[in-house]
Amino acid sequence: MKTVQELGEDALIQRICKNLGQEVHVLTGPGDDCAVVETGTEKSQVLSLLKTDAVVEGVHFLAETSAQKVGWKATGRVLSDFASMGGEGKELLVTLAIPGKTPVNWVDELYQGMSRCASTFGVSIVGGETTAVPEGSAKVISVAGRGEVARSQIVLRSGGEPGDALFVTGRLGGSLAGWHLTFLPRIKEARWLVEHFSLTAMMDLSDGLARDLPRLAAASGCGFELDRAAIPRNRGCSIAQALGDGEDFELLFAVPSQSAKQLQSSWPKEFPLLTRIGSLTSSGGELRGGWGHFEACEVDEK
């Protein structure tokens, strides 16, 4: 019998989702960074974004990792996904699954980190669930949330066209040195982008450029060309690390090629670095690497 490790994460998700029915108010279901739904009045100018994400001890953080940093990361991951759709967060729900012998102080510090991240970005934690897991099991923190985006500004992964220019914000690689615990979701940058330019596709880089760029291209029915030498890297990082380390939480997006120069010249100086790294094409493009759940058993300080 085939195991999920043999099947792989992407194929498992496709298998889970292939028979899920969607009601008419669901505009975008599984397959993007967030689900997109209409709420309230039909054809409202504001759409709701729905997202859930989890961090697991031994996979996304180690037992000795600061609980405050774990809380920041658990919250920031969801806010980063809202940003990748051009939106911003509104409310969050937290599910905490931990062994009964977990120190209360650890939980206090976890929620301090979550609250600090939420307040930084104007989001409210409105409830959730607590549950026990067997002693010796990993701690799990799952954050679900609702965001909002203007109908005219939403960006999916699937709108890219051959010839579109590909950009990334910030620098990539080196997340294992601790950046994955302290990153800033690029909400402000995403909001500026959708207010000033017509982006055709966007996502955040959580599993590494080597894995996420092919996903964006495939969702748009395109191939890609990547200028590896142009990839912006954190100090001391190789191109391989920039491609594969993952958990950069920067924005990867596509814009029509005729907008590329104007975008680069008008990019606010107070924002992180903006780099053109390639183009979408009609076909072709191959990258290997990046993070995939079920593909490795090592503890990953990510």
What would the mean pLDDT of 117-140 be, rounded to a whole number?
97
Give residue 29's pLDDT: 74
Domain boundaries, the chain: 4-153, 165-281
Give residue 298's pLDDT: 39
Q: pLDDT tier at 289 (50, 70, 90 boundaries)?
A: confident
Q: Give me the amino acid identity at 282.
A: S
Give residue 295's pLDDT: 65
What would the mean pLDDT of 191-203 be, rounded to a whole number?
98
Indicate the class that CATH gives domain 4-153: alpha beta
What would the mean pLDDT of 245-262 be, rounded to a whole number?
97
Q: pLDDT tier at 176 (50, 70, 90 boundaries)?
A: confident
Average pLDDT over the chain reads 92
What would the mean pLDDT of 85-109 be, rounded to a whole number?
97
CB of 78 closer than 8 Å to CB of 49: no
Residue 114: pLDDT over 90 = yes
Share of the chain above pLDDT 70, in %: 93
Residue 302: pLDDT over 60 = no
What would the mean pLDDT of 20-43 be, rounded to a whole number?
78
| pTM, entire model | 0.91
What would the mean pLDDT of 4-25 be, rounded to a whole number?
73
Higher pLDDT, 43 or 163: 163
CATH of the domain spanning 165-281, picked from 3.10.20.580, 3.90.650.10, 3.40.50.11740, 1.10.3720.10? 3.90.650.10
Higher pLDDT, 45 or 6: 45
Contacts of 49 (CB under 8 A, 6+ apart): 34, 35, 36, 81, 82, 85, 87, 146, 147, 148, 149
Give residue 24's pLDDT: 76
Residue 207: pLDDT over 50 = yes
